[in-house]
A and B are shown apart, each in its own frame.
Chain A
Amino acid sequence: MGFFFEVLIGGLLSGVLYALVALGFVLIYKASGVFNFAQGAMVFFAALTFVGFREVLPGWTGLEADGNFVFWLAFVLALASMVVLGILTEKIVLRPLVNQPHITLFMATIGLTFLIEGIAQGIWGANVRGLDLGIADEPVEWIMESADILVSKFDLFAATIAGALVASLALFFQYTKVGRALRAVADDHQAALSIGIPLQHIWAIVWAVAGFVALVAGLIWGARSGVQFALTFTALKALPVLILGGFTSVPGAIVGGLIIGASEKLAEVFIGPFVGGGIEGWFPYVLALAFLLVRPEGLFGERHIDRV
């Protein structure tokens, strides 16, 4: 039984990370109706830019390589890069495609994925980098002693950060003017205009926020498994999460992430051995599909009848 819970908790914790990436999707989808396939590439770009700055800054400035200051300077510079990337994307790619079919926008973000990957590796190189956030990947002792379950400190830390981020985004949506405008845009573009914030600004802000979320996700994920091209695949993992949770629901992204994370690990451990293993790669998709057939509108979505 202890083993089952270990697997479950491990799965839930990685589910938090899926939720974090999925959140980036939801933000952009809510505001501009774009399904941003490039979210994974943005995670990669963010992590690589952070690590890259951390490598070059000591040489440029003479600062101590492991110091806090370099860490935060690199963080700020990476964040600034993400904001610029987001704004450029909005201006160059999405604005000309306003009112195009969803599928066209989706394909454009696939193009964007390749573009961002190429640029990121072109600037910082393609080799795998380690990323140390200073939190050890070792079991939390008191949980091990009291419940006899292994829970990694790092995972717990990651989950806390992700949880805090999700909570602050929820507050942002609820209580700031921009946040309210954002929700209005999701429902009705005209209504948003009446709030007095130009649609383009809202989109730029959303892309910037999505860039921030990508940076946080990239750092945590990069610290876990190295900063490398495989980070881009986080986007693929987020897709089934979105199907479960719905494309427009923040709580949906979180619950969906947890379900996918937990179920894929449980499936791998408990079903995998019977079919040769490695089912983690496709299990979330099949689960999401099975779910779609029963509830096409997702966990939290509303059933919608096309108006004609």
Chain B
Amino acid sequence: MMMNDMASLGDTQTQAPDRHIGDVILDLQGISLSFGGVKALTNISFDVREHEIRSIIGPNGAGKSSMLNVINGVYRPQEGEITFHGKVRKDMDPHRAATQGIARTFQNIALFKGMSVLDNIMTGRNLKMKCNLFEHALYWGRAQKEEIEHRKKVEEVIDFLEIQSIRKTPVGRLPYGLQKRVELGRALAAEPTLLLLDEPMAGMNVEEKQDMCRFILDVNDQFGTTIVLIEHDMGVVMDISDRVVVLDYGKKIGDGVPDEVKNNPEVIAAYLGTSH
């Protein structure tokens, strides 16, 4: 598996992995969202294709997180339409999004602080576990078998993310970088088809970033998971994305393959304008 990882990482750095990209699975049309008087998103449209890594970039406050929140129904847009797997809707709802295979991580780590790493990741399996309250009460027969079965899946995730040594640690005690990794683990345990990652590498050192990059690419490569990624590190974004959307002040100012976006004058202006 190690060999495989390295190979795939090398691959993607030299050529965009366009070979496996499929049809559009998520299509957002004319999305507008506001909070009181604040317009977070204005008439935004873009789509996501199966198996691709789709990045959203833009300065702080541009509306990137809001966009993810709209995709999985945490925020409800006032206008627009969301088409996911062919179904057209006005908005999503977090639970429905989860049952349809959307999982995510959050910009500010949203782990269950009082629970161990293992339990946190186990929660990712909850939609696949079928026993009811009374079976849990007895913890016997089917309930126990189910628990063990899913524990095995979770251990696979733990192996994949190389966090075996901390599985019993309460997540609140872990350093920041590891917490981000556990949060990814929780999302992966749900075996999502669409994975939304909100700044998974923010605040990490170079080594941690490399690890996280490798995990994201492996997930995309080995499991074929479609990924929507918000990230500030342009090097990483241009390296691993298939296509990039650029937001600024809630508006879309660019959309395309990394090279296109990199040379878009509006995008360059927005970045120069904010970073100086």
> Is any CB of A less than 8 Å from a CB of B in the complex?
yes
Interfacial residues, chain A to chain B (CB-CB below 8 A) = 302, 305, 308
List of B residues within 8 angstroms of A302 by Cβ: 36
Q: How would you classify the secondary structure of chain B's contact residues: helix, strand, loop or mixed?
A: loop
List chain B residues, Cβ under 8 A from A308.
Answer: 65, 69, 74, 106-108, 110
What 1/0 mask marks residues of chain B from 89 to 113 whose CB sits below 8 Å from any chain A CB? 0000000000000000011101000
Give the interface SS of chain A, mostly helix, strand, loop or mixed: loop
Q: A305 contacts which chain B residues (CB < 8 A)? A: 35, 75
Residues of A within 8 A of B36 (CB): 302
Please give me the residue from chain B that is nearest to A302 by CB atom: B36
Alpha-carbon distance A308/B74, docked complex (angstroms) = 9
Docked complex Cα distance between A212 and B106 (Å):
44
Residues in B lying within 8 Å of A, measured CB to CB: 35-36, 65, 69, 74-75, 106-108, 110
What residues on A are CB-neighbors of B69 within 8 Å?
308
CA distance A305 to B65 in the complex (A): 14
Q: How far is the CA of A216 from the CA of B146 in the complex (A)?
A: 62
Give, as a whole number of angstroms, the nearest-CB distance from A104 to chain B. 12
Q: How far is the CB of B129 from chain A (nearest CB, A)?
A: 25
| Residues of A close to B110: CB separation below 8 A | 308
Alpha-carbon separation in the docked complex, A67 to B75 (Å): 65
Cα of A3 to Cα of B219 in the assembled complex, Å: 75
CB B64 to nearest CB in A, in angstroms, measures 13
How far is A302 from B37 in the complex, measured between Cα atoms in Å?
12
Q: How far is the CB of A253 from chain B (nearest CB, A)?
A: 23
In whole Å, how far is B101's beta carbon from the nearest beta carbon of chain A? 20
| Residues of the A chain whose Cβ atoms lie less than 8 Å from the Cβ of B75 | 305
In the complex, residue of chain A having the shortest beta-carbon distance to the beta carbon of B104: A308
What is the bound-complex CA distance between A302 and B75, given in angstroms? 17
Q: Give CA–CA (A185, B105) in the complex, Å.
A: 31
Q: How far is the CB of A169 from chain B (nearest CB, A)?
A: 27
Question: Chain A residue with minimal CB distance to B106?
Answer: A308
3 tightest A-B contacts by CB? A308-B106, A308-B74, A308-B110
Which residue of the partner chain A has the closest CB to B65? A308
- Sampled A-B contacts (10; CB under 8 Å): A302-B36, A305-B35, A305-B75, A308-B65, A308-B69, A308-B74, A308-B106, A308-B107, A308-B108, A308-B110
Q: How far is the CA of A302 from the CA of B108 in the complex (A)?
A: 24
- Given A305-B75, A308-B65, A308-B108, output 5 extra A-B contacts at Cβ < 8 Å: A302-B36, A305-B35, A308-B69, A308-B107, A308-B110
Residue of B nearest to A306 (CB): B74
Give the shortest distance, in Å, between B181 (CB) and chain A (any CB): 19
In the bound complex, how far is the Cα of B66 from the Cα of A305, in angstroms? 12
Determine the distance from Cα of A308 to Cα of B94 in the docked complex, in whole angstroms: 13
Q: Smallest Cβ distance from B102 to chain A, in angstroms? A: 15
Cα A308 to Cα B199 with chains together (Å)? 12
CA distance A35 to B36 in the complex (A): 27
In the assembled complex, the Cα of A113 lies from the Cα of B69 at a distance in Å of: 42
Report the separation of the CA atoms of residues A308 and B35 in the bound assembly, to the nearest whole angstrom. 14
Write the nearest CB–CB distance from B50 to chain A, whole angstroms.
26
A305–B78 Cα distance when bound, in Å, is 14
In angstroms, Cα B69 to Cα A83, docked, is 47
The CA-CA distance from A305 to B108 in the complex, in Å, is: 16
Give the residue name and chain of the A residue nearest to B76 (CB). Answer: A305
Smallest CB separation, A195 vs chain B (Å): 24
A43 to chain B, nearest CB (A): 35
Min C-beta distance of B98 to chain A, whole Å: 15
CB distance from B60 to the nearest CB of A (A): 13
Q: Which residues from A are CB-within-8-Å of B35? A: 305
Bound CA span A82–B65, Å = 47
CB-CB under 8 A from B106, the residues of chain A are 308
> What CA separation (Å) do A308 and B75 show in the bound complex?
10
B41 to chain A, nearest CB (A): 14
